[in-house]
Amino acid sequence: MRPDTLTERLRIITGGQTIREVAEMVDMNHETVRRYLSGHAPSTEFLAQICDKYGVSGNWLLLGKGPATIKAVRKQALETASEEELMGVLGSKLQSIELRIENLELAVKRYGPRSKPGGREAASQKL
């Protein structure tokens, strides 16, 4: 049976957890969480925290459509994406990695390698 309401989906996500456990998980007051799980309209902050902390798809949580978990959404996206789409994403990720490497290389040139306190240099100075 497909859950029809946001409240039903929230109850499924939080499973057998107590209200206090859910409140701690999303870093909110337990009374606020109790109201949300009882059917009162939740804040966007609460919904975002639920999606983030429980790995839930926002589309499924809000509308009841599509896969429930982010993992399932990614899997579905990979299975249905065209070769062009996959190559485009791969190319942009590679560019992002190259940029990060360049920034790291610049930082190392500018500031030099850093050693941890108590590392090899500190040990050699003690001898």
Residues 55 and 23 both lie in one domain: yes
pLDDT at residue 122, as a whole number: 53
Q: What was the pLDDT predicted at 43?
A: 95
Helix spans in the chain (H): 6-14, 19-26, 30-37, 44-54, 58-63, 70-80, 83-111, 120-126
pLDDT score, position 113? 72
Residues 59 and 92 both lie in one domain = no
Cα separations in angstroms, 12 against 1, 21, 50, 74, 95: 12, 15, 12, 21, 39
Q: How many domains does the chain have?
A: 2
Q: How many CA atoms lie within 13 A of 80 on its CB side?
A: 6
Q: What is the domain extent for residue 103?
A: 81-113
Q: What is the CATH number of the domain that holds 35?
A: 1.10.260.40
Per-block mean pLDDT, blocks of 10 residues, the chain (127 long):
84 92 96 94 95 93 90 85 89 94 92 68 55
If asked whether residues 42 and 16 sit together in one domain, one would say yes
